[in-house]
């Protein structure tokens, strides 16, 4: 009898331990994040404060994490995938790695910023722009990204390495907007102008231009404003390329999120997505990151060019995934560093 009671007590304790473990599991979400922590932590911490659900960020490049998610399949620990590139998000969608998101969240994001089947949502948008040194007077000929291939910029131009996901996405937009031949020539011109000197971070390009080591650089817009926050008198300005009636418009991209097909915490994951597209979450992207919110009605930071004033290339973001390989073929053919 005593033995039976002991066994029953042990079973009860084990059951309680299991319940406690499950509760703890439900209070944590694992996010495969292809963005730097500085862009994600503020909104993740705000969500945790509201919900009590902890967000664990596993960081690497968006492409690496997408491959990891695919290889792990149903064994993955990832509840969500967060990418700095719509191309990877769309590729993951086409590989069947994600599940559709609730209409309540999806409808808050304009159709141009999300997957056609709502398996991913764009959270914040950014523009590919030029950072210019204001002390240099002979740059009036630079009005388009294609002008960066001009031989007059040899040794004066800063770009990221061609494996950078923003570089690949931007090149894909240019290829779809202007054609493969023009984009190939552009890549060759960039290569001629930079030689083997490329950067691993956009912020380093902005710093080099501000210090007068370079005259112009191709970067995402918010890096310029971040630099000016730290050094308000830096001799740099932003140039929106390819504007006007004849311009193709800037390359636009989004950071976005998807819920893993194999998450065991679907409700908690969807709560996180709902917070990311809430007014509070979107304001964090606007105010802290100085990106463009994807939810209508949430204004961008006051000093950013108004979205309505920016001409954007007419390339659906859902095309960035399917056309990625064609872009990589061009990059490889040119031998971009």
pLDDT tens track for 85-124: 999 999 999 999 999 999 999 999 999 899 999 999 999 9
Segment 125-151 mean pLDDT: 97
Terminal CA-CA length for the chain: 76
**Rounded to whole angstroms, how far apart are CA atoms 102 and 254?**
20
pLDDT for 61 beyond 90:
yes
Residues 110-119: b if buried by 16+ CB within 10 A, e if exposed: eeebbbeebb
Segment 35-57 mean pLDDT: 97
Residue 137: per-residue pLDDT: 94
Per CATH, the architecture of 126-251+323-334 is what?
A: 3-Layer(aba) Sandwich (3.40)
pLDDT for 79 beyond 50:
yes
Whether the Cβ atoms of residue 260 and residue 80 lie closer than 8 Å to each other = yes
Q: Which CATH number fits domain 25-125+253-305: 3.30.70.1060, 3.30.70.120, 3.40.190.10, 3.40.50.1100?
A: 3.40.190.10
What phi, psi does 206 have (nearest 5°)?
A: -60, -45
Segment 198-223 mean pLDDT: 98
Residue 294: per-residue pLDDT: 96
Q: What average pLDDT does the structure give for the chain?
A: 92
The alpha carbon torsion through 68, 71, 75, 81 (nearest 10 deg) reads: 40
**Rounded to whole angstroms, how far apart are CA atoms 306 and 240?**
12
Segment 126-151 mean pLDDT: 97
Beta bridge partners of 295: 109
**Rounded to whole angstroms, how far apart are CA atoms 294 and 278?**
10
pLDDT for 14 beyond 60:
no
Residue with tokens 């499950």: 22
Residue 102: per-residue pLDDT: 98
Please name which of 186, 202, 197 lies closest in space to residue 147, comparing C-alpha atoms.
186
Q: Grade residue 18 by pLDDT with cuts at 50, 70 and 90.
A: very low
**Domain range list for the chain:** 25-125+253-305, 126-251+323-334
Half-sphere exposure of 253 (CA within 13 A, CB side): 28
Segment 208-221 mean pLDDT: 98
Task: Collapse the DSSP code of 107 into the 3-class scheme (helix H, G, I; strand E, B; otherwise coil) and give the result.
Answer: coil
Percent of residues, the chain, with pLDDT higher than 70: 92
Residue 69: per-residue pLDDT: 98
Question: 4-18, 38-52, 132-146, 299-313: which has the minimum mean pLDDT?
Answer: 4-18
Residue 300: per-residue pLDDT: 95
What phi, psi does 73 have (nearest 5°)?
A: 55, -130
Q: Tell me: the pLDDT tens digits for 189-210?
A: 999 999 999 999 999 999 999 9
Q: Grade residue 1 by pLDDT with cuts at 50, 70 and 90.
A: very low
Q: Grade residue 226 by pLDDT with cuts at 50, 70 and 90.
A: very high
pLDDT for 301 beyond 80:
yes
- Looking at per-residue confidence, does 13 or 131 come out higher? 131
Rounded to two decimals, the pTM is 0.88
Residue 27: per-residue pLDDT: 87
Segment 15-24 mean pLDDT: 38
Q: Tell me: the pLDDT tens digits for 144-184?
A: 999 999 999 999 999 999 999 999 999 999 999 999 999 99
Percent of residues, the chain, with pLDDT higher than 90: 91
């Amino acid at each position: 009898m005593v033995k039976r009671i002991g066994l029953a007590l042990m079973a009860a304790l084990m059951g309680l331990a299991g319940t406690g473990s499950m509760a703890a599991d439900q209070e944590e979400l694992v996010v495969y994040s292809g963005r730097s922590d500085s862009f994600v932590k503020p909104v993740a911490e705000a969500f945790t404060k509201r919900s009590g659900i902890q967000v664990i960020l596993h960081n690497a490049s968006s492409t690496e994490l997408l491959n990891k998610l695919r290889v792990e399949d149903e064994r993955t620990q990832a509840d969500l995938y967060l990418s700095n590139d719509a191309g990877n998000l769309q590729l993951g969608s086409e590989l069947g790695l994600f599940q559709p998101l609730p209409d309540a969240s999806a409808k808050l994001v304009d159709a141009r910023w999300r997957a056609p089947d709502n398996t991913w949502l764009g959270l914040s948008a950014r523009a590919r722009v030029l950072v210019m040194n204001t002390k240099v007077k002979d740059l009036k000929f630079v009005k388009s990204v294609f002008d960066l291939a001009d031989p007059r910029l040899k040794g004066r131009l800063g770009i990221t390495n061609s494996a950078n996901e923003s570089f690949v996405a931007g090149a894909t937009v240019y290829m779809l907007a202007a054609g493969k031949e023009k984009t190939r020539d552009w890549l060759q011109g960039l290569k001629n102008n930079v030689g083997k000197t490329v950067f691993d971070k956009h912020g380093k390009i902005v710093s080099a231009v501000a210090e007068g080591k370079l005259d112009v650089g191709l970067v995402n817009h918010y890096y310029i404003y971040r630099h000016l926050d730290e050094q308000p008198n830096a001799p740099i300005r932003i140039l929106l390329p390819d504007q006007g009636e004849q311009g193709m418009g800037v390359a636009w991209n989004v950071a976005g999120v998807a819920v893993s097909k194999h998450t065991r915490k679907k409700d908690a994951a969807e709560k996180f997505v709902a917070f990311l597209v809430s007014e509070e979450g979107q304001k964090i992207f606007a105010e802290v990151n100085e990106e463009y919110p994807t939810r209508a009605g949430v204004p961008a930071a006051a000093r950013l060019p108004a979205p309505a004033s920016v001409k954007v290339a007419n390339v659906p973001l859902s095309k960035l995934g399917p056309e990625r390989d064609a872009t990589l073929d061009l990059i490889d053919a040119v031998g971009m560093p």
